[in-house]
Each structure stands twice: as C-alpha cells, then as structure tokens.
Chains A and B, each alone.
Chain A
Amino acid sequence: MNQPTLSQYQYLQKTINNRLGLWLFLVSDAFVFGGLFIARFYLLGTDARPEVNQIVGLVVTSILLLSSFFMNRAETAMATGDTKGFFRHARLTLALGSLFLIGVVGVEWRIAPYPPDHSVAYALLYTMTGFHAFHVLSGLIFIALVYRNARRGLYSAERHWPVEAAAVYWHFVDVVWVFFYPALYLIGQAI
C-alpha cells in the first residue's frame, strides 16, 4: 500500500513549525535550569562552592564540548548527504556523552566528600548535576533513536528534521553545562 508522503514544500513548512516548537520547549526548560543556577548564587554567594575535583570538572566539560562538536559534524554530514559520516560522528557523540555521564555520576558523585543532605552546597551540587545528567541521558536516548531510524534509511539530505532536533537538543544540554561548570567548579572556595 502506498503511504501518503509530504511534498518537499509541505515538509519544509512543517520543519519551520517544528523548529519553533522545539525552541519554545528549550526556552521553558532553560527557566528551570536558570532557577537552579540562581539558587546556587542566592544560597552560597560567590565566596563558596561545594568541594569538587576541578580536574574532573575540566575533563568532563571538555568531553561534553567535544561531543557537541561531533554532533555538529553528524548533522552537517546528514544535511550534505554523507550518511556514513553521520553514523561515524553520531557514534562518537554517543560514546562521549556516555563518558560524560560516567564522569559526573560515576566519578564526581563517588569522590564528593559529603552526601546531598550534608549542607545546602551539596544539595545544590547533586541537584544541579543530577538534573543535568537526566537531560544528558534523555539526549543520548534521543540520538540513539535517530541513529536507529537513520539505519532504516528514514532520513536524507532533504528530509532530516529529527537529526537537526537531536543536535539542537544536545547542544542545549551543552550550553547548560557551560554555565554550571564555573558555578559548581570554579567560583568560590570549597567548603
């Protein structure tokens, strides 16, 4: 049975609307992260921060920035008809994103000197990194789904909105971490 397909004009019109919807969602999500960011400075000021390992912070930040670079390459590859390039770069993004999760949840949480209920500083540390980690996890699932659909041949250079959406979401998670990194790891003295 022939499935109805959208014309290229209809597909692009739909993409424009989808794009607006995605950005509206990201802005609303940014308010939640913004609330956590402001809470950190309201409760701890600029003189104090939780005791975290700054080297681990630098490493996980570098890993996430690198994953964003590869996601950008993956999207570019799909948009220019290089399907093999998309698969290669999407796999690298998935690997680096998983490494970031391990670095934060598996390493940083393990070596943090106190549990979340020790003080406000540690409650903030676990809340901010935990909430962000959930977003990273959902981003990884999103990219993995897009990867599977691409394997089935569902996307092309002309029609690849889900790839763009996964990339934009992944970069958003990166932007959030760009602000969380100095707020948790660099500003203030460890308490």
Chain B
Amino acid sequence: MEEKRNQLHRIGLTVLIILGVLTIGEFFIGAIAWQWWAILLAIASLKAFYIVREYMHIARLFQPQEEQVE
C-alpha cells in the first residue's frame, strides 16, 4: 500500500506542476496578448483534461464491473 500511495502521490505532484506551469503561462499570455483567446482556451482545456483524467479518475467509469468488483 505504501508503494501504491507513493506512486499516486508522484502522479498528483506531477499534475500540480503541469497545472502551475500552464497557469503562469496563460497569465502572461493574458497580460501581453489578450487577443489570443483560442490559445488561452486551449490551455484551459489542457488543464481540465489533466484534472479530469488524473484527479477525477474518469477512467474508473469505464472499467469493466468485474475488474472493479474483484
């Protein structure tokens, strides 16, 4: 369990770093080039993708029932 926890913590930290870098990136884009709305929305979509996949564990919804009930 300890090993599993450490592995999940590493993934969580990696996602936080990615989200932090993207947030700072979009802040500077917004400050100097607010017209680039498509890029800003693309960055937001990328951030949402990581949260939904790694933090919300959307994949659990699509796992076969037998696999989850084991």
Contact = CB atoms under 8 A, between A and B. Distances in A.
Interface in B27-70: 27, 29-31, 34-35, 37, 40-41, 43-44, 47-48, 51-52, 54-58, 60-61, 65, 68-69
Interface in A36-88: 46-47, 49, 54, 58, 61-62, 65-66, 68-69, 71-73, 76-77, 79-82
Nearest to B8: A76
Contact of B35 (A13, A46, A175, A182): A46
Interface in A1-53: 9, 12-13, 15-16, 19-20, 23, 46-47, 49
A147 interface: no
B16 A66 contact: yes
A80 B55 contact: no
A136 interface: no
Contacts, number: 107
A76 B9 contact: yes
A19 B31 contact: no
Contacts of B34: 49, 186-189
B8 A54 contact: no
B1 A81 contact: yes
A170 to B, nearest CB: 9
A187 B37 contact: yes
Contacts of B37: 46, 182, 187-188
Contact of B12 (A15, A61, A76, A185): A76
A177 to B, nearest CB: 10
30 contacts: A46-B37, A47-B35, A54-B27, A54-B30, A54-B31, A58-B23, A58-B27, A61-B23, A65-B16, A68-B51, A69-B12, A69-B13, A71-B55, A72-B55, A73-B9, A76-B8, A76-B9, A80-B2, A167-B55, A171-B52, A174-B51, A174-B55, A175-B48, A175-B51, A179-B41, A181-B26, A182-B37, A182-B44, A186-B26, A189-B34
